Structures are given as structure tokens and as C-alpha cells.
Amino acid sequence: MSTKTVHKGLTGVVVDTTGISMVNPETNSLTYRGYPVQDLAAHCRFEEVAHLLWHGELPTPAQLAEQNAVERAHRELPADLVSTLLHLPATAHPMDTLRTAVSILGANDPHEDENSPEANHAKALRLFGALPSIVALTQRRRRGLLPLPPRLDLGFAENFLAMTFGAVPEPEVVRAFEISLVLYAEHSFNASTFTSRVVTSTLSDLYSAITAAIGALKGPLHGGANEAVMAAFEEIGTADRAQEWVARALAAKRTIMGFGHRVYKNGDSRVPTMRAALRTVAELRDGQRLLDLYESLAGAVFAAKGLHPNLDYPAGPAYHLMGFDTPVFTPIFVAARITGWTAHITEQLAANSLIRPSSLYTGSAQREFIA
Ligand code: ACO
């Protein structure tokens, strides 16, 4: 009889230390490098938060200008990357396009296998600059539109939206989008970040770690939930049908996407900020029907199961009202989380130990092999 204890899903297992962010389920709070995330969302540009995650401090104006110059230089995608992406089927899931794009960028980087902090920070900035251009290209291609060149005069969020939609939207919409990027940027040892740390722990390269993290994020139990939320809204249709839909979904043992969380059991600290951002966009973009459905479904799920929404619940409808197609929601999450992932890769390498857990064997007992 084995004395091993199985920690299914690694629930509650503390596998390492981190100085990047802290999730406190007792107080429903999240801090990046010590700062409450709602304060960062209210007062900072996304580029400043990226600097904070990478370097541990908010940037001085000179540091921000230097970082912006490098990020903007990477917005123009290499021609070979664009031509390969345009050869993928137009029906490919945008997360697959993104995963393939990161792989190509790695293969084209002569410094791919250099794992110094400097080399990896240069790669992080390269992906930080390129990912919005890839997401915008993918969104435009879905609508039969050609990619647009980057706008080097614009900040990260404005350029992302301008490259996608052809113009910078209302300042309130840009702000709501930027808030979503800040909230999505980092969340300690979630599944995709842990995946990036596992790959890094073998001393593989950053592009491999990010490719794997994108694969982990795609699943609907993780980042893919923001897309699945929209599918549920479409299935339900109107607010008055939410209660009956929840009863049927739970009776059929369906998971209701956008609700529940492995760490937060009394509410996700990021939801109130994103819900307010959703309200702002809904007021500008004729979103009252969606907002009513949002409130009605949240109430019905809480009444039936005591589950609170997670960040994906308000983010999905907000991206819909901003004009993104549903399959592009999780790629936006990638463009934000690249900051957290790459900060974790650097942290992992600074005190590396191969991540290799054990298992409890439950297969056949040892038996004689007969040739
Ligand atoms: N819908 C229906 N039931 C749920 C849900 C849900 N969304 N979430 C949890 N439950 C149920 C579980 O089945 C379980 O029920 P039981 O006790 O009757 O068996 C109970 O609530 C407790 O759940 P846990 O086991 O504590 O949840 P766990 O930590 O394993 O799962 C997870 C967390 C995977 C996020 C889960 O809540 C879920 O599947 N949610 C939907 C997917 C989702 O929204 N993911 C996004 C996460 S946040 C992010 O990535 C930004």
C-alpha cells in the first residue's frame, strides 16, 4: 500500500515562490508587485504595467519611452511571417494562428536558444510588440480585409484597436480595452503560466514556453472561457430565459463558463473593475440587452449554485460590444498575458529547478513477459 497522497489538479499545492503577483482569496484581492490591480487598472497605461511586471517597479518617463520605442519597432510583422499566416486556412482558430505565429517568430530568431535575462527580455518585447499585429491581422482576415500597417504614433491599446478596426474608437472604449489588458496581464500560478514555467524549467527556449502556454490558455476551463461565455449568451438570447437555462444546464451537469475559480471561492477580485468597463462600453454601443442578460445570468447562477463570475464573464461581452469576433477574445488575453508569462519565465530561470512531479501508479501489477 502506497503512502503517497495524490493532489488531483495540484489543488492547494505550493510548488514555488513568486514575487510577481499575489492572489489573496481571503480578501478577494490581487496585487502586481504589491500594487492592487484595480488601482493599476484605474491609473496606469498597459505599457507601464508591463514594465512593472518585468522589472518590479513602475517606469520613469525615460524608461517608458525606451520600452515604447522597442515595442513599437516590433509592431511591423516580418514579411515571411505574414505570408505564412495568410497561407493558413481562414477558418483556423485564431489561437492556433497565434500559436503558429509565435513558433515561427522563434524559428526566425537567431538568439532563440539564448536564455540570459537580457536575451529573454528582448524576446518578451518582441512578442509584446508583435502579438497585437497578429491578432489584428487574424480578426481582419476573418472579415475578408487586408492587414493594416501599425500606427507608431499611438500607444499600445489605441494601436491594437486601430490596426483591428481601421480607426481609434471612442476614448472610453480604448480605456475599457486597456483596463481589460491590465486585468488579464498576470495571475500567479494559473494553468498557462505554470505551463510556461514547466517548459522553461527544462531549459528550453522562451518561444517554446509561450507556444505551450498559448495551448494551455486556449482551453475553456482557462482563457477559452471568455469565448464560451459569449456562446452561452447567444444560446440564452434574452434575460428572461436565463433562470430556466441555468436550471437545464445544471440538471445536464454542464459547466457554466465564466463562473467559478480554483483560487477565489467568494468572487474574483478583477470582476468589479471589468464589470464597470463593460457598462461603459454597453452605454456607448447599444448594449443594454446584453447587460440585462449579464446580470440575469449572474443572478441565476449564484442562486442555483452559489458560484461567482470570474474575469472572463464580463470580458467576453465587453469584447463583443467593442466589435471583436468571439474566436478573437482569447487571443486578446494572450496579448495581455504575454507580460505575466515572460516575467515568470525570467523568475523561473533565476532560481531554476526542473519541474517534475511524481504519480501514484494504479496500473497492472508487475507480470511475467512471455515472448
Ligand atoms: N459550472 C458549474 N459547476 C461548477 C462550475 C461551473 N462553472 N465551477 C465549479 N462548479 C462546481 C463543481 O462541479 C463542483 O461541484 P460539486 O461540488 O457538486 O461537484 C463545485 O462547483 C466546486 O468546484 P471546484 O471543484 O471547487 O472547482 P475547481 O477549482 O475544480 O474548478 C474551474 C475551477 C475549472 C475554473 C471551474 O470553476 C470551471 O470549470 N469554471 C468554468 C470555466 C471558467 O470559467 N474558467 C475560467 C477560469 S478564470 C480564467 O482563466 C481567467
Tell me, what's the ipTM?
0.96
Tell me the average pLDDT of the chain: 97
Whether 362 maps to a domain, the answer reads no
Q: Dump strand ranges (E) for the chain.
A: 21-24, 29-32, 35-36
Query: Are 153 and 287 within one domain?
Result: no
Whether 164 maps to a domain, the answer reads yes
DSSP designation for 327: G
Strand 35-36 with 29-32, pairing: antiparallel
pLDDT at 281: 98
Instruction: Please give the tally of structural domains in the chain.
Output: 2
Query: Are 32 and 130 within one domain?
Result: yes
CA atoms within 13 A of residue 71's CA, in its CB half-sphere: 27
Model confidence pLDDT, tens digit, residues 233-268: 999 999 999 999 999 999 999 999 999 999 998 899
Mean pLDDT within 221-237:
96
Model confidence pLDDT, tens digit, residues 50-83: 999 999 999 999 999 999 999 999 999 999 999 9
**Which ligand 1 atom sits nearest the alpha carbon of residue 312?**
51
Number of C-beta neighbours around residue 151 at 10 A: 17
What is the amino acid identity at position 119?
A
> pLDDT at residue 4 above 90?
no
> pLDDT at residue 90 above 90?
no
- The CATH number covering residue 305 comes to 1.10.230.10
Q: Which residues are catalytic?
A: 261, 312
Nearest Cα residue to 163 out of 80, 65, 75: 75
Nearest Cα residue to 45 out of 159, 193, 209, 212: 159
Query: Are 242 and 187 within one domain?
Result: no
Q: Closest residue (by CA) to atom 26 of ligand 1? A: 262
Name 268's Cβ contacts closer than 8 Å, sequence gap at least 6: 28, 261, 308, 309, 310, 311
Is 54:339 a contact under the CB 8 Å cutoff? yes
Q: Show the domain range for 345.
A: 18-221+325-350
Whether 1 maps to a domain, the answer reads no
- The CATH number covering residue 53 comes to 1.10.580.10
In angstroms, what is the span from residue 51 Cα to ligand 1's centroid?
32
Whether 361 maps to a domain, the answer reads no
Mean pLDDT within 105-112:
96
Mean pLDDT within 1-21:
92
d(CA 223, CA 331): 9
Model confidence pLDDT, tens digit, residues 164-181: 999 999 999 999 999 999
Q: How far, in Å, are 100, 199, 200 from residue 220 at the CA level?
A: 19, 21, 24
pLDDT at 102: 98
Q: At 98, list the grid cell.
A: 497565434
Percent of the chain exceeding pLDDT 70 equals 100
**Which ligand 1 atom sits nearest the alpha carbon of residue 249?**
2
Q: Closest residue (by CA) to atom 45 of ligand 1? A: 221
Q: How far, in Å, are 102, 178, 185 from residue 161 at the CA level?
A: 21, 10, 17
Helix (H, G, I), strand (E, B) or coil at 202: coil
Whether 287 maps to a domain, the answer reads yes
Name 27's Cβ contacts closer than 8 Å, sequence gap at least 6: none
> pLDDT at residue 1 above 80?
no
Mean pLDDT within 24-52:
96
**Which ligand 1 atom sits nearest the alpha carbon of residue 333?**
51
Is 82:137 a contact under the CB 8 Å cutoff? yes
Query: Are 192 and 265 within one domain?
Result: no
- Start-to-end Cα distance in the chain: 30
pLDDT at 99: 98
